[in-house]
Structure 1
């Protein structure tokens, strides 16, 4: 990891260097609830994913991308259904791999979407996909055959995420979304959409869709068969890794914070100076982007804390020091304000 001096003297980078972040437990709760409804073994799913019932039952905590990925893989295997039992018909485990290998031979992003939607419409009866080109933009539509089976919108969220991130990976660049629309109203977990979908979000639409600029449809597929094989081995983990699709000032501040070895040494004044602006201007820019320096700093500390607390051999006091807290009690209060539970409670809940 870069030192604070190095981080503040280099040009801001486009992609995040740090890998530690967290996800709302909402998704795990909904997946497990449905799994139990269809008769899957909850204890087995929790064990295979590295989660505990106590952790999942606390709606205020957050989990790691690895935990959510393992949970989904466990459901895929146990139910033989990549639609996580939220569809009117299953999409058997391995269908995505077959589609991915077929579309990887496409010449362009346009072909990826055309071939991918055609493939799923032939083999997966629970969903109806549609790809539409207009003069200025393109749209990808997703409809569930029986949306009432997905009351928490987990399958909708997951599939729209997949159909944005996987094609982006194939062409080696982010597909810049203009807008994403949902048929449902604003859900309780809507804050997660800011990380999942880097664009304007609208609700209560006539269909579920996202749209992007037409010009990128000509972008060529750049991944090799070997890189695809490696990618498929990691699925679905890469879809949940936080993407660096943030507004410009939010992204720059996060880059500096995530590169710092000791966040207690970095201040808003330091970052403003390196960005050749004033504290007042930086504060205003972040406010316009819907965030603040303290909020970003806390989010980085929170996600780092969750990662370190997942390491059973690391003392809690050491976790606090790594995050810039000189007193264990101060760290404990901060962690509880971020997650709703004390660090010791969080760690204990992971082991029961």
Structure 2
């Protein structure tokens, strides 16, 4: 795993987990055994390495017997778990502003993931990128973050948001049945990892808004980012820049110019993070294709042409690699599809 991913997770998330374990009569010493996490780390609100976070999650899953612990932690998370960023989220004017703040400053809470917000066709998508996929217990950490993110929306708006969904790339694990009725709607085998909702939710005003506090929190988050020696998540910023309205993608030179750096510097930074520019373009194309397939007004030939494939057969081969299904099979199984730019319910046969 890349050295850049170390010193990753805020200790406040570990403290929240330990408090939950204590409610289950599982002592701190047992939970911290062989994790390398010291009391000084927790008491001083220092950051844990990715390895320490994974070791603590591994202990907690074993001690509770709950492989779905990431969901449990996400459901139990409070705004105070997010430290100063949680206060900033509360002070935003609208849910849109808060979720932009969450995605924009996630790296002051964890550098192992990044999130970017994308709006299209009446939907808002918070796309989650795993920057340390080789770490242990990664599904647990991902489920924790996705559930926290989904829960943030209702916590901040202080009302029920029934159309929030969590989408995961892989097949549905058996342990999700234990959380039936407690989680937002879940979709699996989608090829995407994201929290999604109607974009109308983003216009909801937050009852705790305070513009001065929000401005002060942003300044403090910037200072914390500098103190941690981090930049705003480069991967998320690039992914936000890549897609153009006509279905094409910016080149490296254009992206580098937009980021106020040379292409040589951009290439070096990506190499340091374990990525290359072509990977990011391919991932962006994959997400756009998966999104296009939801739009039933587009044929597979049209999608192939729009996304740079020579024909529908080549697109279908790529699609099978991503999802194990053809585009038409994938489209028919989804609970809803996009028609004329809106979300339409699919009536089961």
Common fold: TM-score over 0.5: no
Greater relative contact order (CA < 8 Å, ≥ 6 in sequence): 1
Normalised-by-shorter TM-score class: 0.3 to 0.5
Q: What TM-score comes out, normalization by structure 1 length?
A: 0.42
